[in-house]
Structure 1
Amino acid sequence: MRRPHCGRECDPGPGGTRTPPASAAGPASTGSCGRPQPPNPTSRAGNPNGSTTALRADVLTALGVLKVATADQLQRLLRLHATSNKALRQTLGDLHLHGLVASDGNTATRHKTWRLEGTAGLEAAGHVLGLPRAEMGGTARGAGRSGAPHAMAANETVVAFVRGGTLRRARWAW
């Protein structure tokens, strides 16, 4: 007799234990019932931190324009509704594993600075932006070692312009 179990049918074995049917040779991972489980279609095997394609493209776009930025600046620029920059940090970690971004150092406030890594990073950002490699400029290599104070100030200006209108007006401005 076959009964549904864990979303599939299992044969009750000796002593009432459930074993998968003989045809269900699957991957090595097992579920809570101890039987092999199919691969998760939503898992991102090539991106162990779980970043999405859209967020990776947004980060490459921003770094292609800004050249060097912190995860906090990217979060305020790309994901205004987010309360944490954890997703951005995970995305930067995935892009780092693929050799597209690198971290050179920290700002004065101890935020890690990120930049595009070499030709691969510039080409990936150029592909997302629709620009040829020749028009992408450089990678700002070494800018983060000193904390990149000028780049961080310029990024804050960009964030202020993009987010404009989020502050309440003063009474005297009416």
Structure 2
Amino acid sequence: MSIFLPIQSVRLTLREFREEDLNEMHHYLSDSEVLQFMMQDTNTEEGSNAYLKKFLQFQKDNPRFFVRFAIIEKLSNCLIGECGLNMPNIQHKEGELVYRLNKKYWGNGYATEAASEVVGLGFEKLGLHRIEAMCDSRNASSIKVLEKIGMIKEGCYREHRWIKGRWRDSVVYSILDSEYFIQK
């Protein structure tokens, strides 16, 4: 039995990506507003296809260093975004939380709901000790998500990344397993 079986929350199903997800994935990966604070530029359909294929390949890796779930809204059965963990340093029991949503679904608490489930997976099933997240300091919505799921601001990397023609300040948030289990 895989620990990466679909995760059910109140309004969402988090499942691994499938080839047939390309069109819905491309919808948010080609939206400059969705990607405005991210390093990634908008994708062509070919770029979105390559991005999807990368996650399909990661599903075959053992151990898994990158886990990415398609976020499915139960009510509409639509793919509305992605959420997952990057764990290239799994030997240190650490992961990085990542997420993005189709803007049509912003402001409904879906990112918070999905991120909370993925953090739970990281601590409860994967045995991580620390999960962190980094975002553009201007991305107030993402900061709100991180704080709602119990992450603590560790600091700010000033002019940390050159993105889309300007320097970006990046804020870093984290949560430890002990903090997660106390909140739960």
Same fold by TM-score greater than 0.5: no
Question: Hey, which of these two has a bigger chunk of strand by percent?
Answer: 2
> What TM-score do you get using the length of structure 1 for normalisation?
0.28
Question: Hey, which of these two has a bigger chunk of helix by percent?
Answer: 1
- Higher-Rg structure is 1
> What TM-score do you get using the length of structure 2 for normalisation?
0.27
